[in-house]
Amino acid sequence: MYNSKISGLGFYVPDNIVTNDDLSKMMDTNDAWIQERTGIKERRWIKEGSEDTSAVMGVKAARIAIERAGLEPKDIDFIVFATLSPDLYFPGCGVQIQDMLDMNTVGALDVRNQCSGFVYALSTADQFIKTGMYKNVLVIGSEFHSGGLDKTDRGRGVTVIFGDGAGAAVLSREEDNAKGVLSTHLHSEGKFAGELIVKSPSIMHWVPQLIEENNKVDPDYYPYMNGQLVFKNAIVRFEEVINEGLSKNNLSATDIDLFIPHQANLRISQFVQRRFKLRDDQVFNNIMTHGNTTAASIPIALTQAWEQGKIKKGDLVVLAAFGSGFTWGSAIIRW
């Protein structure tokens, strides 16, 4: 059995920076309130009229990752695309990537696991490579949040959190079983599905009904989050799934060189950091400048950490995420 290694990384975020002060002009909020609760100072939002979409941003990130892997699009055997904000209800963004990159007629799979999406996508790609089915798999996390947020006082508790962007990784076959993705660990608890959710539109509440009702103030059309419950569950599940991965590989917290959490809330990351007694230089956060980019947050952060020289050959890198579903997961990687 093979292992998979990350052979190339790339990310893309829109140029348009939206600060907390900018948001205070749209809704009743302020910089101090947002930073105290989330740690976020600014985020990137796609400008109206831009060509960017989840698929387009994914392609921009993917081109960088493929080039850095020393490959061309024709060398990619399979695509796994993670997002909660696809360009279309169907088909999924994966096939758009295949077309935009002018790839061979490779398979394309879309993953709908929201904040845990990239870890789930990475795990899926890893299994395809481990079993020998594919040699090079393109994994993308991309989100266009800003077009679907409630930018009124009612939505401020959610809207201030999210940003747009995309990150990509190429996973390639690794002959050395002591290197690359050592293991991944995935979980879900669907009884909490309603605590972080967009209820409409859905097949149960589809377009003709929405048009007939024409209820512009229906909150079901926008994201809902039970913030306190999400926070309490996140800090428990983060710790559990990281320990699960370390135990699987006979490792401990002292072996971690770099921890990259899903960028949900700086307070969650800091809590987990304290639980594992990690130094500031052992944890990479970018939520301060990018907000929560859901499925894109880990690949963006991972790429930035690598670009800044924070990941070296032989380092143990731990990825972990928690989000809507509830779903959560971790990946243990020997670089």
- pLDDT tens digits along 93-105: 999 999 999 999 9
Q: Return d(Cα 37, Cα 23) in angstroms, integer.
A: 15
Note the pTM of the prediction, 2 decimals: 0.95
CB burial of 282-320 (b: ≥16 within 10 Å; e: otherwise) equals bbbbbbebbbbbbbbbbbbbbbbbbeeebbeeeebbbbb
pLDDT for 214 beyond 70 = no
Check residue 309 and give left, alpha or beta (phi > 0: left; psi -120 to 50: alpha).
left
Position 217 pLDDT exceeds 80: no
Contact 332, 179 (CB under 8 A): no
pLDDT of amino acid 280: 97
Give the model's pLDDT for residue 84. 96
Has residue 35 got a pLDDT over 80? Answer: yes
**Residue 185 — very low, low, confident or very high, per pLDDT cuts 50/70/90?**
very high
**Looking at residue 202, what is its pLDDT?**
72
Class of domain 181-334: alpha beta
The CATH H-level superfamily of 3-178 is: Thiolase/Chalcone synthase (3.40.47.10)
Q: Does the pLDDT value for residue 211 go beyond 60?
A: no
With CA atoms as reference, report the closest residue to 228 among 295, 287, 157.
157
The yes-or-no verdict on residue 212 having pLDDT over 90 is no
Report, as residue numbers or ranges, the catalytic residues.
115, 262, 292
Is residue 273 predicted with pLDDT exceeding 60?
yes
CA-to-CA dists, residue 51 to 39, 55, 266, 268, angstroms: 30, 10, 31, 34
pLDDT digit string, tens, across residues 278-307: 999 999 999 999 999 999 999 999 999 999
Give the residue range(s) of CATH 3.40.47.10 domains in the chain: 3-178, 181-334
